[in-house]
Amino acid sequence: MSDELDIEAMVARFQKRAAAVKKRTLPPVGGDERALFLEQAQQDFLDFAIIGDATGEVVDGVLTLKVDLRGDS
């Protein structure tokens, strides 16, 4: 598995997904549906951005992603 997994490419895909969420247009919904859509978009962005900022390695068949959450890097 680790021979087939390109961690840098995977992280790059998550960076693209985070950018796509930021560009996502708001569908013509209102009220509660609008609030749910916006909440989901924020959660999607956060999830994709976190993995997009990760560095990773595979050791003994285990993928480990490391994310610096200190905010000063």
Q: Pick the more confident residue, 1 or 27.
A: 27
Phi, psi dihedral angles at 36 (to 5 degrees): -65, -40
| DSSP code string of 33-51 | HHHHHHHHHHHHHHHHHHH
In angstroms, rounded to a whole number, what is the distance separating the alpha carbons of residues 51 and 41? 16
**Rounded Cα gap, residues 31 and 36, in angstroms:** 9
Residue 48, CB-side half-sphere exposure with 13 Å CA sphere: 17
Calculate what percentage of the chain has a pLDDT beyond 90. 67
For residue 55, what pLDDT band results from cuts at 50, 70 and 90?
very high
Q: What mean pLDDT is predicted for residues 32-51? A: 93
Segment 7-33, tens digit of pLDDT? 999 999 999 999 999 998 888 888 888
Give the pLDDT score at 2: 47
